[in-house]
Amino acid sequence: MDWIVEFYRDSKGKEPVAEFLDSLPIKTRAKMVRLIDLLSKKGVLLKEPYTKKVKGKIREIIVNDKEGAVRVLYFSFTGKKFILLHGFIKKTNKTPKGDIETAEKRMSDFLQRYGGQI
């Protein structure tokens, strides 16, 4: 059975990762969508070079192309589900603290609104 991949949706109904993906050039977006599809098929077995642990329960999907180091941060939720939290283009070797904090805040918001444990 495949894993379910969902976009984080804030209290106003906005989906930040969907908006981020829409902002990418078509080829870069296609690469990321293929990896998201692979994540849904392989689940937690999908490892480097496609995904990597960032901090705590937060992991990143990795696409490197001419646009740069494109990342989508996500976490796994109960019931074989992944929640895509935050997308950005990485400008340095380390993942910026602000991007990690954004993902952590969205994960916390998701868990408060939908309950459950990670």
Q: Give this prediction's pTM.
A: 0.94
pLDDT of residue 59: 98
Sign of the four-CA dihedral 16, 46, 52, 26: negative
Q: Domains in the chain and their CATH numbers? A: 4-114 (3.30.2310)
pLDDT of residue 79: 82
pLDDT score of 116 more than 90 = no
CA distance 50 to 59: 10
Band (114; pLDDT cuts 50, 70, 90)? confident
pLDDT of residue 19: 98
Q: Are strands 81-90 and 68-77 parallel, antiparallel or unpaired?
A: antiparallel
pLDDT score of 28 more than 90 = yes
